[in-house]
């Protein structure tokens, strides 16, 4: 079949809207009509050329929602008409990682996914006979996608696609980092570095679990008002702090953060996030994705004295199990997604979504097909 997609033909070049050929679902796969997709900073990161796994030409996008329009042989858990969110972190429930119950990082198809290919080693997209690669196993910047059954969460049918697509990455990553990775507890003090599409969801998660203090750190002063609405108690603009940021944050949190979250992807702020944690127990969670070649550093003494460095992917969520629950939280009014979707665009204007992200004027732009 033919489908419309925004294609990244090369790093650093604007996406081009083209009609692609798409092969149908094979055994264990489903064909999804994508109805809406968010634009995450990670899409920009890969387009910028900073992603060691960035391969071109490809169809980016990993924050979508849509409807199953066809299923391949042997598919048992999904049928035509199901409303779904594609998962860049699948949940096969059979691999060593899934069975360990210690991680959400299902490994069953990770190797081919990282090469932009389906599990059988082929690409289903092509343009004038030349293959176009998949991205993160999802490629939600295409109107139709083929994905493995194990990488699809079935969701309720009354959930609006243009809102719950954001649960495909940002909402789940931010809230999940608090509840599943950090397992933060009521009464804690936390510092969140970066108040964009991820950091504001970390704040929302901290508010949900009853954090005592939620400090937000961002160089964009316009983030202050929205972050306060989501539960931030103190805003810190590093450009306005005279002197070192770390002792300032330690003082503000009365001895150091119980939890900090780095939601920027900058190795300098990763160090600050670790070092503003409380001696003896403070945990710092790395959410941000840093460019190829970047490395983190700190004095080992920071760890000897009890601070803990952790990371999270997709908030530690097990997608097929947890994503439908998060959709319920939204539909029950327990989480706010609407106020974070600041812009809606048709596919033809998708590049404007990246411009808005850079200008710091959007939180999430959502593209509707």
* Contact flag: residue 199 with ligand NAD (CB under 6 A): yes
Residues of this chain, 256-295, that bind ligand NAD according to CB under 6 A? 263-266, 269, 287-289
Candidate segments 46-54, 188-196, 226-234, 247-255, binder of ligand AHE by CB under 6 A: 46-54
Task: Assess whether 278 carries a catalytic annotation.
Answer: no
Which of residues 26 and 110 has its CB atom nearest to ligand AHE in the complex?
Answer: 110
Contact yes or no for 214/233 (Cβ under 8 A)? yes
Map tokens 């071109």 to a residue: 56
Candidate segments 12-20, 49-57, 147-155, 358-366, binder of ligand AHE by CB under 6 A: 49-57
What Å distances lie between residue 243 and 46, 82, 235, 246, 278, CA to CA? 34, 55, 17, 9, 20
* Contact flag: residue 45 with ligand NAD (CB under 6 A): yes
> Judged by CB under 6 A, which of 69, 313, 331, 345 binds ligand AHE?
313
* Residue environment code for 150-173, b if the CB has 16+ CB neighbours within 10 A, otherwise e: bbbbbbeeebebbbbbbbbbbbbb
**Residue 171 zone, left/alpha/beta (φ > 0; ψ -120 to 50; rest):** alpha
Q: How far apart are CA 200 and CA 104, in angstroms?
A: 22
Q: How far apart are CA 167 and CA 196, in angstroms?
A: 15
Residues of this chain, 68-97, that bind ligand AHE according to CB under 6 A? 89
Residues of this chain, 115-174, that bind ligand NAD according to CB under 6 A? 169-170, 173
Contacts (Cβ under 8 Å, ≥6 apart) of 197: 38, 40, 41, 166, 170, 174, 340, 363, 364
CB of 302 to ligand NAD, least distance (A): 20
| Helix H or strand E encompassing 33 | strand 29-38
* Contact flag: residue 200 with Zn ion (CB under 5 A): no
> Judged by CB under 5 A, which of 152, 169, 286, 350 binds Zn ion?
169
* Contact flag: residue 181 with ligand NAD (CB under 6 A): no
* Contact flag: residue 195 with ligand NAD (CB under 6 A): yes
Q: Across the chain, which distance is largest between two alpha carbons, in Å?
A: 63
Helix (H, G, I), strand (E, B) or coil at 28: coil
How does DSSP assign 45-69, residue by residue? HHHTT--TT--SSB-----EEEEEE
Which of residues 111 and 303 has its CB atom nearest to ligand AHE in the complex?
Answer: 111
* Contact flag: residue 90 with ligand NAD (CB under 6 A): no
Encoded one letter per residue, x for contact with Zn ion by CB under 5 A and - for no contact, window 29-48 reads -----------x-x------
* Contact flag: residue 51 with ligand AHE (CB under 6 A): yes
* Contact flag: residue 38 with ligand NAD (CB under 6 A): no
* Contact flag: residue 196 with ligand NAD (CB under 6 A): yes
* Contact flag: residue 169 with ligand AHE (CB under 6 A): yes
Q: How far apart are CA 218 and CA 232, in angstroms?
A: 12
Contacts (Cβ under 8 Å, ≥6 apart) of 206: 178, 184, 188, 190, 192, 214, 231
> Judged by CB under 6 A, which of 7, 40, 190, 340 binds ligand NAD?
40
Neighbours of 261 (CB within 10 A): 33
Catalytic residues: 40-42, 62-63, 92, 95, 98, 106, 110, 169, 364
Q: Footprint of ligand NAD on this chain (CB under 6 A)?
A: 40-42, 45, 169-170, 173, 193-199, 217-220, 223, 238, 263-266, 269, 287-289, 312-314, 357, 360
């Amino acid at each position: 079949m033919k489908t419309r997609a925004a294609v990244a033909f090369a790093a650093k070049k604007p996406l081009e809207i083209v009609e692609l050929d798409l092969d149908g679902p094979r055994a264990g796969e489903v064909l999804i009509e994508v109805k809406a997709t968010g634009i995450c900073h990670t899409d920009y990161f890969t387009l910028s050329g900073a992603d060691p796994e960035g391969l071109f030409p490809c169809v980016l996008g990993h924050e979508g929602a849509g409807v199953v329009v066809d299923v391949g042989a042997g598919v048992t858990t999904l049928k035509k008409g199901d409303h779904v969110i594609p998962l860049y972190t699948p949940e096969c429930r059979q691999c060593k990682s899934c069975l360990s119950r210690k991680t959400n990082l299902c490994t069953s198809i990770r190797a081919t996914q990282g090469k932009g290919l389906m599990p059988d080693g082929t690409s289903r997209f092509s343009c004038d006979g030349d293959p176009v690669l998949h991205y993160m196993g999802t490629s939600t910047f295409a109107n139709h996608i083929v994905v493995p059954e194990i990488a699809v969460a079935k969701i309720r049918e009354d959930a609006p696609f243009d809102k719950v697509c954001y649960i495909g990455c940002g909402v789940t990553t931010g809230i999940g980092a608090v509840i599943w990775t950090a397992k933060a507890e009521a009464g804690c003090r936390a510092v969140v570095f970066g108040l964009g599409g991820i950091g504001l969801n970390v704040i929302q998660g901290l508010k949900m679990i009853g954090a005592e203090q939620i400090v937000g750190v961002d160089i964009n002063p316009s983030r202050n008002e929205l972050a306060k609405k989501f539960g931030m108690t103190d805003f810190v603009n590093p450009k306005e702090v005279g002197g070192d940021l770390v002792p300032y944050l330690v003082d503000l949190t009365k001895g150091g953060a119980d939890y900090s979250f780095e939601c920027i992807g900058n190795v300098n702020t990763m160090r600050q996030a670790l070092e503003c944690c409380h001696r003896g127990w403070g945990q710092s969670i790395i959410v941000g994705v840093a460019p190829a070649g970047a490395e983190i550093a700190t004095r080992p003494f920071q760890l000897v004295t009890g601070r803990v460095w952790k990371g999270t992917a997709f908030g530690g969520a097990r997608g097929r199990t947890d994503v439908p629950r998060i959709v319920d939280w939204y539909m029950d009014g327990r989480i706010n997604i609407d106020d974070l979707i600041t812009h809606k665009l048709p596919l033809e204007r998708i590049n404007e979504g990246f411009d808005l992200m850079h200008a710091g004027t959007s939180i999430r732009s959502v593209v509707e097909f």
